[in-house]
Amino acid sequence: MWGFEAQHRIRSSHILVINFSSVGAEIVKNLVLGGLGFLTIIDSGKILEQDLSGNFFFDVSLLGCTKLDSAVKERIQELNPRVDIVTDSGAWAEKSQAWFNQFDIIICTQFDASQIESISLISRSLNIPLYVVDTHGLYGMIFVDLIDHSSHLRLARNPIRRKPGRSSSVREIVRVEEMTENDVEYEDCLIQNHYTPFNNILEKPKLKEFFRNKKKLNKIDSTLVVLLGCLKIPSSYNYPIETVQVTRFELLEFANDVARRLGLTILDLNDLILQDIANQFCCEFQPVAAILAGCLSQDVINMLSKRENPINNLLIFNGKKAEMPIYTI
Amino acid sequence: MARDIQLIRILGEETYNKITNSKVLLVGAGGIGCELLKDLLLMRYGEIHVADLDTIDLSNLNRQFLFRQKDIKKSKANTAVAAVALFKGDTKLEPHHGNIMDVSQFPLSWFRQFDIIFNALDNLEARVYVNRMALFINKPLIESGTTGLKGQVQPIYPYLTECFECTAKETPKTFPICTIRSTPSKPIHCITWAKNFLFAQLFGEESEEELNPADLETDDAQEIEALLKETNELLALKKLIKDDSAEDFIDSVVEKIFVEDIVRLSKIDTLWKSRQKPVPLDYGLYSKKLKELPPSVISDDQKIWTTEENLLVLVDSLKRLQARYKSEGVLDFDKDDKDTLDFVVAAANLRSFIFGIETKSEFETKQIAGNIIPAVATTNAIMAGFSSLQSLNVFSDDPVGNSRLIYDSEYINKFVTQCPPLPGNPNCKACGIQRGIITVPSLDIQLGEIHKQLLKKYGYSDDVSIVVGNNRLVYDYDFEDNLTSSLKDLTIGDGSIFFIGDSDDELQDIELYLEVAPKETEIALTDITIKKKPVKKEESKAEVTIQDGDQMEEILDEDEILIIDEPTEKRPLEVEEEIHSKRKKSSI
């Protein structure tokens, strides 16, 4: 499907997955089935009863074991014996720069803002593409920082020929070649994507570049600001969910801080999405994990195959409305 | 329960309890089915039945994550259910290895036990069938399908939303038989010929079917005669596989397929007026060169082989296939079976060479022969996730209003395109008429009794017509002879379908599924409100409008890369295996 060269790149890649959460397990499944060469998973947590409804690699007999117990590793390996898998029950925060340097891609799940800040310092300094995915019940987001990425897009020929040039501050067409294959005419566009480091997404927001019309900017669903607001609350991953209580008040404050920085509508306490997400903060839900992990894994494959236009740079998921907008912020 | 504390937070106690008390049917345990089964289990559905008639194939393993090497040739439904035992919790699971369209194994009464039906099927026929069952029993059906990176999920609430048959489905692309057999012009024609015709004829099951000249889509008498002769000779050749030595068998195959048949075709002048005439293979010349070639070429799947290299691979693969045929019997083409793939690649390339068509590497041919668009594990996972999420709406206070149709998106500013379900197409042949069930205690009941009940229950005037099955009229105003006959005498049985038409054109027509329930004492009819027949209007085509359209436009103006064509109306897509099975069936 991806072509020989792409498959080769996938086979020779070494990917790190931090946190074997519900969405982490789904990503692992997809990548292992997809024929990835090398995979390292790190998680220092233990299997709690609540994890049994969010992770299909776990069962009752493993309660209390580490999430990456040897039995779990065996189950992952069964999916594809050819993948070289390393599991690590240590803490990622204690790992050295040299340890991170062995990876071609870093994928983090259920991370908060301060964790993303630390990991992106590492990934930026080592020039490693970074993916972050967080889920909160029926809601979730994927943040992508590929630093700089070029890919070929094969597009149907347009009446107006595409021309090289910058289409926005994050994306440009470097070259356009006209081609014909099997009697179908198309244009092969070499696209360059530039990414904003995590630290700058709220400092120098780019949203207005894509929503020049104020009215349309105001129409942006509050899921975006609430989910970005959630990042300010320390991640409760690996904690018993009954100890996790996020109030609407604290979340509202963080969400409105984001809204102000992005120039979006300020929310009030009665905002339904705010209520939902506060209530479902850090909860894992299998279908949502499957969708976001599928989406992220596909983007990783696209990125490695250099064939499609990868996500640049924030995907927001609202499971109630079945919406998945992608914003550049 | 501590285990499901997160679920309860997300869904609320009430919905959670409803889910744990629901019984659902999952039809299909393939790419989407495996994913869906896992999702439904971890949502804690109370009881899940899984039906699939397929067995596991080697090519399934890279995406159907519940299956392993050791499971090959085993039932998909049974294996999937066994594989999830580990994390199934309290859910009751029941596998059914069988064809969902088999009325004796799956009568309508069996379908009635389920609260929701999930379709994770790869063929049109079964999807249409399950759609009809859902209409008869009036239960929600969540449809899903994928092709490569494309996919869709369609929640169906009978008579409230569009059903699966409300929009026309694209049929897989097929080629006229004469293009494949006599006048190929593209690599795909030669690959189709090698895989579906030559390989199947030589190593496949003996086909009972005779070549029907009408299927050839040509009027050229000379061409028809040539093709008939070709087929007969091929059958004779097949007999040689078991009896002949490898050398004789291979010589006969090459001589016939790439020399004699081509000579015969090239003599039909009408075919070559505007086409390049095929040139028979100079077998003598090339076979001499074979000894000089390194056999290692067979393992180089990236290289475009020369004519003699193709011949070498053909000869070598024929040897291997003949040996296997002698010990194993009938062989099936499998793109992951190197012996069968080698044969198809070499034979397709030699034919391309003869007809002056570009040849392909083994790697490329594998992509084409292996169903054109391979299934993608991530698309299956995503669409299965949406299918399970959409099922939550069944438990909400406004199922239809909360539901969404979901499609993949080709736009850069969203990952999926979604819209509310559309109302049914009034001209739909499936949900355009009301459906229900007629339950009888036995088949000794007289047709007249049923006729009487129909008028009483639904308010029809006496002027109705009753048609059974496709078009057997058993009653109308001028044809009362059968009223005193029993259903048994009229050969009407369990699963028969009655069509009731109002000859006065006042009330809508209905369709009733006959069910025999010996426990009942009287005839029972489903409660349906029969509406007045609508005044006929011109056919209007339902259109999917894409939400967020205005926002998209704005970005489109500014970012040229975004201009990617996306049709405003997308039709649900059929899955790869569908195309595969259709091709298999159409014996060319």
* ipTM confidence score: 0.97
**Which of A:181-240 have CB within 8 Å of B?**
182, 189, 191, 210-213, 216, 219
Per-residue model confidence (pLDDT) at position A157: 81
Q: Which CATH number fits domain B185-356: 3.40.50.620, 3.40.640.10, 1.10.8.50, 1.10.10.520?
A: 1.10.10.520
Q: Which residues of B234-257 are buried (b: 16+ CB within 10 A; e: fewer)?
A: beebeebbeebeeeebbebbbebb
- Over range A316-325, report the average pLDDT: 97
Q: CB–CB of B412 and A241 under 8 A?
A: no
Q: Give the chain B residue nearest A314 (alpha carbons).
A: B413
Interface contact B551-A138, CB threshold 8 A: no
Residues of chain B contacting residue A53, judged by C-beta atoms under 8 Å apart: 3-4, 6-7, 42, 44, 89
Q: What is the pLDDT of residue A3?
A: 59
Considering the domain architecture, whether residues A183 and A84 belong to the same structural domain is answered as no
Contact B378 A279 (CB under 8 A): no
Handedness of CA B100, B101, B105, B109 (dihedral sign): positive
pLDDT of residue B542: 40
pLDDT digits (tens, 9 = 90+) for B319-357: 999 989 888 888 888 777 889 999 999 999 999 999 999
Residues on chain A touching B89 (C-beta within 8 angstroms): 52-53
Residues A172, A111 share a domain? no
Percentage of chain B surpassing pLDDT 90? 45
Q: Which amino acid is at A162?
A: R
A291 touches chain B (CB under 8 A): yes
Gap between the Cα atoms of A314 and A326, Å rounded: 6
Q: Which helix (H) or strand (E) holds B155?
A: strand B150-156
Nearest by CB to A1, from B376, B384, B409: name it: B376
Its domain, for residue A155, covers 148-194
Within this chain, do residues A216 and A317 fall inside the same structural domain, yes or no? no
User: Looking at residues B485-511, what average pLDDT do you find?
Assistant: 89
**Is residue A63's pLDDT more than 60?**
yes
* Set of chain B residues whose Cβ sits within 8 Å of the Cβ of A50: 2-6
Q: Does A53 touch chain B (CB under 8 A)?
A: yes
Q: Are residues A32 and A122 in the same domain?
A: yes
Is there a catalytic annotation at residue B190? no
Confirm whether residue B163 is marked as ligand binding: yes
The answer to whether residues A91 and A109 belong to one domain is: yes
The number of folded domains in chain A is: 3
* Cβ of residue A327 closer than 8 Å to a chain B Cβ: yes
- Same domain for A270 and A292? no
Same domain, A308 and A274: no
Question: Chain A contact for B189, CB < 8 A?
Answer: no
Domain boundaries, chain B: 2-170+375-419, 185-356, 434-525
| Chain B CB within 8 Å of residue A260 CB | no
Tokens of B215: 């299927």
What chain A residue is nearest to B366 in terms of C-alpha separation?
A1
Q: Which among B1, B4, B6 is the top mutation candidate for probing chain A, defined by the most A β-carbons within 10 Å of its own β-carbon?
A: B6
CB distance from B87 to chain A under 8 Å?
A: yes
Q: Are residues A57 and A90 in the same domain?
A: yes
Q: What is the CATH number of the domain that holds A133?
A: 3.40.50.720
Closest CB from B5, B148, B377 relative to A241: B5
| Average of per-residue pLDDT across B232-254 | 82
- Asked if B549 has any chain A CB less than 8 Å from its own CB, the reply is no
* Active-site residue identified among B34, B178, B190, B419: B178
Predicted confidence at residue B461, as pLDDT, reads 84
B residues 296..325 contacting A (CB < 8 A): 302
Using CB atoms, pick whichever of B63, B302, B389 lies closest to residue A287. B389
B42 interfaces chain A, CB cutoff of 8 Å: yes
Domain boundary pick from A136, A171, A194: A194
**DSSP annotation string for B497-560:** EEEEEETTS-BPPEEEEEEE-TT-SS-EE----PPBPPPP-------PPPTTHHHHHHHHHH-G
| B92: its two tokens | 């009751």
Domain co-membership, A220 together with A305? no
Question: Per the annotation, does B21 bind a ligand?
Answer: no
Examine the domain organization and report whether A38 and A114 are in the same domain: yes
Topology given in CATH for the domain delimited by B434-525: 3.10.290
Which residues in chain B have their CB less than 8 angstroms from residue A287's CB?
A: 39, 43, 384-386, 388-389
Q: Which residues of A touch B35 (CB under 8 A)?
A: 290
- For residue A109, pLDDT over 50 is answered with yes
Q: How far apart are CA B86 and CA A60, in angstroms?
A: 8
Asked if the model's pLDDT at residue B551 lies above 60, the reply is no
Q: B385 and A167 in contact by Cβ < 8 A? A: no
Task: Tell me the pLDDT tens digit for each residue of B439-464.
Answer: 999 999 999 999 999 999 998 888 89
Q: Hey, is A309 helix, strand or coil?
A: coil
Q: What is the mean pLDDT of chain A?
A: 93
Contact A307, A300 (CB under 8 A): no
Q: What percent of chain B has pLDDT over 70?
A: 86
Q: In CATH, which superfamily holds the domain spanning B2-170+375-419?
A: NAD(P)-binding Rossmann-like Domain (3.40.50.720)
Residues 95-154 (B) with a CB less than 8 A from some CB of A: 148-149
B162 appears as a binding residue in the annotation: no
Distance, in angstroms, between B262 CA and closest chain A CA? 25
Find the distance separating the first CA and the last CA of chain B, reported in whole Å. 59
List Cβ neighbours of A278 (8 Å cut-off, separation of 6 or more): A246, A247, A248, A251
Contact yes or no for B418/B546 (Cβ under 8 A): no
Query: CB pairs below 8 Å between A and B: how many?
Result: 187
How close is the nearest chain B Cα to the Cα of A97, in Å? 31
Look at B9 and A241 and tell me if their CB atoms are within 8 Å. Answer: yes
C-alpha Rg value of chain B to the nearest Å: 28
Say if residues B386 and B406 touch (Cβ distance below 8 Å): yes
Predicted local distance difference test score (pLDDT) of residue B572:
38
pLDDT score recorded for residue B558: 29
| A145-149, A279-283, B35-39, B367-371: segment of lowest average pLDDT | B367-371
Residue B389 at interface with chain A, using a CB cutoff of 8 Å: yes
Do the annotations mark residue B33 as ligand-binding?
Answer: yes
Instruction: Assess whether pLDDT exceeds 60 at residue A29.
Output: yes
Rounded mean pLDDT of chain B? 83
In this complex, do B561 and A26 lie within 8 Å of one another by their Cβ atoms? no
Secondary structure (3-state) at B153:
strand
- Å between A206 CA and nearest CA of chain B: 13
Query: What pLDDT does B555 receive?
Result: 29
Distance to chain A for B349, nearest Cα, Å: 17
Residue B544 scores a pLDDT above 80: no
Closest listed residue to residue B45, CA positions, set B106, B4, B9: B4
Q: Is residue B567 predicted with pLDDT exceeding 60?
A: no
Query: CA of A96, closest CA in chain B: separation in Å?
Result: 32
**A40 lies in the same domain as A104:** yes
Same domain, A137 and A95: yes
Task: Give the pLDDT confidence score for residue A293 in this predicted structure.
Answer: 98
Do the chains contact at B418 and A323, CB–CB below 8 Å? yes
Give B385's contacts in chain A (Cβ within 8 Å): 287-291, 294
Q: Which helix (H) or strand (E) holds B144?
A: strand B141-147
∠ at Cα A204 (A200, A209), nearest 5°? 130
Do residues A301 and B63 make contact, with C-beta atoms less than 8 angstroms apart? Answer: no
**How far does Cα B223 stand from its chain's mean position?**
33
Question: Where do the H-state alpha helices sit in chain A?
Answer: 4-12, 22-33, 70-79, 97-100, 113-126, 207-210, 214-218, 223-230, 248-262, 272-279, 286-305
